Amino acid sequence: MAPKNLQEVLDASRGAVDLLRNSQIGSYIYPVVPADFQNWIKEQTAWRQTAVLYDQSHHMDNLFLKGSDAIKLITATAINSTAVFPVNKAKQYVPTTESGHVIGDGILFREAEDEYVYVGRAPAANWLLYHGETGGYGNLDITVDRRSPSRPYGNQVTRQYYRFQIQGPNAWQVIEKLNGGPLEQLKFFNMSTMTIDGTTVRTLRHGMAGAPGLEIWGPYADHGRIRDAIVEAGAEFGLVPVGSRAYPSNTLESGWIPSPLPAIYTGEAERGYREWLPADSYEATGTLAGSFVSDRIEDYYLTPWELGYGSFVKFDHDFIGRDALERVDPAAQRKKVTLAWDAEDITRIYASLFNVEGPSYKFFDLPLANYGSANYDSVVDADGTVVGYSMFTGYSANERRALSLATIDPNVPEGTELKVVWGEPNGGTAKAAVEPHEQTEVRAVVSPVPYSTVARASYQGGWRTNYQSA
């Protein structure tokens, strides 16, 4: 009989690592939005030089929580403090397992007194949904609007809400033209409203591209009309719609690692959760990619500090994982960095495409080179010792460099040259997104996070980057 839940899938497999490293689901797709509107280089440079429109309507789950117990659920599952979380404010949500390892993250919007919306990837949404259903919360209603299908094959796709972001140096000029006049620049992650094409829309003060901008949302039926109005108003300011090919690469410059492996595949405390997760869930079908290989799935688990979320951990409330996190020495944890890859070594990888007699290395796709849901490439020092993981890799046309976001040992200083092992061992796994290849090493210099000097100067300290301005 076919497995019905994640636990049964694991029981029938040769272990979680083998299951995920040989998943057949294919590459992680940012669905529905066209791959390109111009080309990915022009779209990348626009978020640094003029303005861009991100269409975030399709690649994230939306979880709607209503009732007086909603804040109790959030508080019980988040490492963040909820002591100050007023209406019309957003907060990054980071849950951990009983062992103190990260499950995922996303953004929580407090839209009314007892109404919250979670927006983000499936792992944190599923964790909230499970604990909401099983935690005995009497006054709580949860509904979920899952991300759009990765491959709709021409079928109609609809969501409850559209979600756009207007970002870049000229973003505020576009926003005020749309609004028909000046608009107050609220503090970061504060919410308000504005008018677009005669319609009142909700807004979140944001800054994903390193400059003031807004996230905008409303009923999906208005998607096309609102999008067209933004594009028309932005034309004179150089606004460029960003396609799904360039969109995820913006985090290489801003410093957010989007997809660590959810730390839920072991642990007796999480068994009920694994039995609740369907056999076709993100957690059961996702792909684990990269050169780092361990028989122990626990070796892929990460603490909040290793992902740059250490400043979020607050012990002013009881939450799942608190006891374990209280025993952690933050100074001993790996730290998030950017790795700037050596141009000569990257050129050698591309040269292998045309070398009919030499080795063929793992294809480095542009602008995003990831080939799994969760990516773990070994980062080694001069002695060949693994000192961390490279977890999100690609190319920035703004920096003219291949970059990756990594977590490495705390004693490795900025400026150190390390090596990233690129490609999987033994010719590659059986994953759908992996072609036969040989491994190679790429020199990489430990650099700040975020890498972009623009983003370091403009981002809210602590949000996603854990960067604290001097």
pLDDT tens per residue, range 90-109: 999 999 999 999 999 999 99
Nearest residue to 350 (alpha-carbon basis) of 440, 277, 224, 447: 440
Mean pLDDT of 424-450: 97
pLDDT of residue 27: 84
Mean pLDDT of 378-398: 97
Mean pLDDT of 100-122: 98
Nearest residue to 162 (alpha-carbon basis) of 195, 197, 202: 202
Q: Give CATH for domain 9-26+63-149+261-327.
A: 3.30.70.1400
In one-letter notation, the amino acid at residue 377 is D
Model confidence at 453, pLDDT cuts 50, 70, 90, reads: low
Q: Give CATH for domain 331-447.
A: 2.40.30.110
Q: Which two tokens stand for residue 351?
A: 């040269």
Kind of pairing between the strands at 440-447 and 191-196? unpaired
Is 455 a residue whose pLDDT tops 90?
A: no
pLDDT of residue 169: 94
Task: Round to whole Å and give the CA distance between 291 and 421.
Answer: 6
Is 465 a residue whose pLDDT tops 70?
A: no
Nearest residue to 8 (alpha-carbon basis) of 273, 281, 270, 274: 274
Model confidence at 454, pLDDT cuts 50, 70, 90, reads: low
Model confidence at 306, pLDDT cuts 50, 70, 90, reads: very high
Is 464 a residue whose pLDDT tops 70?
A: no
Task: Domain ranges for the chain, please list them.
Answer: 9-26+63-149+261-327, 40-59+157-254, 331-447
Is 67 a residue whose pLDDT tops 70?
A: yes
Is 32 a residue whose pLDDT tops 70?
A: yes
Q: Specify whether the CB–CB gap between 437 and 470 falls below 8 A.
A: no
Is 353 a residue whose pLDDT tops 50?
A: yes
Q: Which two tokens stand for residue 80?
A: 């963040």
Q: With pLDDT > 90 as the criterion, what percentage of the chain qualifies?
A: 93
Q: Specify whether the CB–CB gap between 410 and 332 falls below 8 A.
A: yes
Look-up: residue for tokens 């290395």? 361
CATH homologous superfamily for the domain 40-59+157-254: Probable tRNA modification gtpase trme; domain 1 (3.30.1360.120)
Task: Round to whole Å and give the CA distance between 45 and 43.
Answer: 6
Mean pLDDT of 22-41: 95
pLDDT in tens, 313-332: 999 999 999 999 999 999 99
pLDDT in tens, 245-294: 999 999 999 999 999 999 999 999 999 999 999 999 999 999 999 999 99
pLDDT in tens, 182-202: 999 999 999 999 999 999 999
SS3 annotation, the chain: CCCCEHHHHHHCCCCHHHHHHCCCCCCCCCCCCCCCCCCHHHHHHHHHHCEEEEECCCCCEEEEEECCCHHHHHHHHCCCCCCCCCCCEEEEECCECCCCCECCCEEEEEEECCEEEEEECHHHHHHHHHHHHHCCCCCCEEEEECCCCCCCCCCCCCCCEEEEEEECCCHHHHHHHHHCCCCCCCCCCEEEEEEECCEEEEEEEECCCCCCEEEEEEEHHHHHHHHHHHHHHHHHHCEEEECCCCHHHHHHHHCCCCCCCCCCCCCHHHHHHHHHCECCCHHHHCCEECCCCCCCHHHHCCCCHHHCCHHHCCCCCCCCCHHHHHCCCHHHCCEEEEEEECHHHHHHHHHHHHCCCCCCECCCCCCECCCCCEECEEEECCCCCEEEEEEEEEEECCCCEEEEEEEECCCCCCCCEEEEEECCHHHCCCCCCCCCCECEEEEEEEECCCCCHHHHHHCCCCCCCCCCCC
Nearest residue to 265 (alpha-carbon basis) of 301, 294, 292: 301
pLDDT of residue 461: 40
Mean pLDDT of 405-433: 97
